[in-house]
Chain A
């Protein structure tokens, strides 16, 4: 089955750029899926960061939009997150996830990576 694995530096300096990659294994980045990044600050809830759609279009959380870029490389079966001008508030576990949107108005994320901890310090 499809598995996701996040990778990237675990420590980023303030004002720097956080860069993570999610590798998709066990299947292809099929064109009817949306690929998302979600984060969770310590002791807090889940926050959607953004996604790349089957057409390659991107959507971002309005609160992070000015600092986020998500891209996909379907030939390499991976997608990436870049978050600029980071502060301590960006310290979190970062997850990548596979999403599905249906014509019946279902939206769900059925496959998640295990998450990677990023500390800004």
Chain B
């Protein structure tokens, strides 16, 4: 089955830059999408495609892909960015499947 692998936890000092990664073979075909989830809330999309931010998402969020690994970079992390970040992609090689990474808990110090 398809899988996306993320580090369980990452920390960053306030105002510094942090990168969160997501690895999986589905990323060779489909770009990763990134979601931010805060406690008790539904996920919110923060990045999709090559490097597309939905309306209202700050430009400190950016993304990139290299081979089977996608990265979400937060440049100048803010306290409000503390959350769990999930990557997500699609596997269309057989019966379509949607996959999520296990999530990365970001702590802003």
A binding-site residues for B, Cβ under 8 Å: 36, 38, 45-48, 51, 53, 59, 61-63, 95, 99, 101-102, 104-110, 112-115
- Interface residues in B77-109 by Cβ distance below 8 A to A read 84, 86, 88-90, 95-103
Beyond A45-B103, A107-B89, whether A36 also contacts B54 by CB under 8 A is: no
Chain B, interface SS category: strand
- The one of A38, A53, A108, A113 in contact with B45, judged by C-beta atoms closer than 8 angstroms, is A108
Q: Which residues of A contact B61 (CB under 8 A)?
A: none
A61 contacts B97, C-beta separation under 8 Å: yes
Q: Which residues of B contact A115 (CB under 8 A)?
A: 42
Q: Which residues of A contact B99 (CB under 8 A)?
A: 48
Beyond A108-B48, A115-B42, whether A99 also contacts B103 by CB under 8 A is: no
Q: Which of B16-24, B26-34, B68-76 contacts A (4 or more CB under 8 A)?
A: B26-34
CB distance from A112 to the nearest CB of B (A): 4
Q: Which residues of B contact A112 (CB under 8 A)?
A: 42-44
B90 contacts A101, C-beta separation under 8 Å: yes
Q: Which residues of B contact A110 (CB under 8 A)?
A: 45, 48, 54
- The one of B1, B33, B84, B95 in contact with A107, judged by C-beta atoms closer than 8 angstroms, is B33
> What are 21 A-to-B residue pairs whose CB atoms are below 8 Å?
A36-B98, A38-B100, A46-B35, A46-B37, A46-B43, A46-B100, A46-B103, A47-B100, A61-B97, A62-B95, A63-B1, A95-B43, A99-B98, A105-B30, A106-B30, A106-B48, A106-B49, A106-B52, A109-B43, A110-B45, A114-B42
